[in-house]
Amino acid sequence: MKKLFNTIKTTTVNTANTVRAKVQSLAVRGFGFSRRALAGNSGEGYIDTAIKILIAVVLGALLLFTLYTLFGDIVLPKLEEAINDMFGFGGAIDQLG
């Protein structure tokens, strides 16, 4: 009976040691990954993002200014002239009556 208890004790201790070693191994690998992930300096910084946003705003403003100028100086006067020609209206009210 004493031999059986010693075998159970030895098996339990060996299993506990194996589990403890595996948990430690997983913890060391997990903490190592966390430490590298938190201390890593790769990726986008604030300066890069600010420059990208600034470039997007400048290009958007330039595009809007171009469209506003194009429609104000070229498209709308020609459109007004085409509509007047289509209806035969010369622009003077005296011609109606």
Enumerate the domain spans of the chain. Answer: 1-38, 45-88
More confident residue, 90 or 57: 57
Taking all residues of the chain, what is their mean pLDDT, rounded to a whole number? 77
**What pTM did the predictor assign?**
0.40
| Helix (H/G/I), strand (E/B), else coil: 40 | coil
HSE toward the beta carbon, residue 37, CA cutoff 13 A: 6
* Inter-residue contact 90 to 84 (CB < 8 Å): yes
More confident residue, 4 or 27: 4
Question: Which tens digit of pLDDT belongs to each residue from 13-54?
Answer: 888 888 887 777 776 666 666 666 666 666 667 888 889 999
